[in-house]
Amino acid sequence: MDGTAALLVTAAVLVATIVVLVRELYPVAPTLVAALLSLVLLGVVAPGEAFAGLSSSATLTVAGLFLVARAVRDHVGLERGVASLMGGARSDTGALARLATPIAAASSVIANTPLVATLAPITRTWAERNGRAPSKLLMPVSFAAILGGTVTTIGTSTTLVVSGLVETSLGAPFSFLEVTPVGVPVAVLGLGLLILLAPRVLPDRRSVYSQVATHERDYTFRLKVVADGPYDGRSIAAAHLRNLENTYIAAVEQGDRRIAPVAPDLVLHAGDVLTFVGRVDRVRGLVDGEGLAFADETQADLLHGDTHGLHEVVVGGSSVLAGRTLKDTSFRGRYGAAVLAIHRAGERVEGKLGTVHLQAGDALLVLADDGFAERWQGRSDFAVLVPLEEVSDGRERRRGLVLATVGGMVLAAAFGLTSTLLAVLGAVAVLMVTRTLRLSDARNALDLEVLTMIAAAIGLGAAVTASGLAELLAGGIAG
């Protein structure tokens, strides 16, 4: 294809691509890939140049930062950190001031995309639990990460892409602190305006969870008396099961006999099933004394696992659960979780949980592993999914190693001991060799859509250069 034709074709493809992206007619990554492939097939750019973005330092660095961010998320205990930072906040402005600066600092050395993806649900959960509007915090969290990303070369994928293009053209990429003299003033000014203005101008929008319920709702759950335990053969009063804080016994099942209301002198026997109505925070306390266990043995199996914690989910209107029972849906097999209790607004759920026909809006208290929220957050099965307690699988024991590795990565790049790419890849190697970052976690950590966009954008840049369009535009701008 001659020069003029290549220039016109490239310009037409770019204009069409921009229109599609601006009007959101198609997802970004497939659109960029389609544009690049069309230019390759039309002979505007050679395949080797078009797909050089797949092996560019920018793409590889971003991929490595995704892996480092995953290790930080898994081992540093961000949930606890956010809760500690926000603990004394008395206003939205105060909460944002406590949160925005650390996020910006972290974003300067960790890719902001995975950082925001990790912190957004943590921030939302904190806001909902503390009666604040998530809408006043979530967008500022994203903006704080963007501002922090301007401080160093690895802070944002955009700077990394530009650094890669500079390396291709001039033979050397940006240094780690190349953009710092400009980035620091921008970040400081931006954070100041963000903290002052965001709480005042952003709308007060609360989620369904915030508006209609909190995790301190009353649930119904069934516990059985353990043989030879402290409650076996004792009356309700003698077992100190009366006047429990935020909890009461609604009924007792002794064989085929159901007793309600429950008298204080009723003697309990092994196998009796007690129906409690009460708050979430009483569930663990009642079963930890070894006198009571969940009536469903499968729930008991999960309860004693160290990697499991309580979550609250709300059945969505389009959920496969609506109108069906837990038994019909094979809930435990499908979700890897056990339902401990069901709450239905204005109505106490009676009977065995497995036979209750669920309705849209039902809140379920479930015991699930540490990956439950990540697997099902945002899916149509649950309108709301909120962890009610921290789930730990012992990974935080490696916090020191992860922080030391990230610190070493930053120092090596900042003092020019090695290139930014090699510093990041070295950090990934340390995390992998020490088994701090598992292979399965590494696969899940890579955001292929983002990496595809970066690689395709670099390829389109090569096409713009090869066609002569870049030279024409540069000449027009320079006059």
For range 350-364, the mean pLDDT: 81
Per-residue pLDDT band at 22 (split at 50, 70, 90): very high
The residue-averaged pLDDT of 256-269 equals 90
Distance, in Å, from the CA atom of 6 to the CA atom of 42, rounded to the nearest integer, reads: 9
| Predicted pLDDT at 425 | 94
Cβ contacts of 445 within 8 Å, gap of 6 or more: 66, 67, 69, 70, 114, 437
Model pLDDT, residue 88:
62
pLDDT band, residue 383 (cuts 50/70/90): confident
- Which residue is associated with the tokens 């007619």? 25
Confidence grade of residue 346 (pLDDT, cut at 50, 70, 90): low
| Highest mean pLDDT of the ranges 322-326, 360-364, 394-398 | 322-326
Q: Which two three-digit tokens encode residue 295? A: 């009536």
**pLDDT for the residue 367:** 80
Write the pLDDT tens digit of every residue in 318-341: 788 988 998 888 888 888 888 877
Look at residue 95 in the predicted model and tell me its pLDDT: 84
Provide mean pLDDT across the span 169-188: 88
pLDDT given for residue 34 in this prediction: 95
Q: Which residue has the higher pLDDT, 101 or 210?
A: 101
User: Under DSSP, is residue 137 helix (H, G, I), strand (E, B) or coil?
Assistant: coil
**Cβ density class 367-380: b for 16+ within 10 Å, e for less:** bbbbebbeebeeee
pLDDT of 479 strictly over 80: no
Residue 50 has pLDDT above 80, yes or no: yes
- Which range of 152-156, 218-222, 266-270, 445-449 scores highest in mean pLDDT? It is 266-270
> How do residues 114-169 score in pLDDT, each as one tens digit?
777 777 777 877 776 666 777 788 889 889 999 998 999 888 888 888 888 888 77
pLDDT, greater one: 85 or 302: 85
Question: What pLDDT, on the 0 to 100 scale, is given for residue 96?
Answer: 86
Q: What pLDDT does 126 receive? A: 74
Confidence check: pLDDT of 18 > 70: yes
What domains can you pick out in the chain, each with its CATH number?
A: 3-44+448-478 (no CATH), 45-214+397-446 (no CATH), 219-387 (3.30.70.1450)
Other residues' Cβ atoms within 10 Å of the Cβ of residue 432: 15
* CA–CA distance, 305 with 25 (Å, rounded to integer): 47
Per the confidence metrics, is the pTM higher than 0.75? Answer: no
Mean pLDDT confidence for 248-252: 86
Average pLDDT of the chain?
82
Q: How confident is the model at residue 280 (pLDDT cuts 50, 70, 90)?
A: low
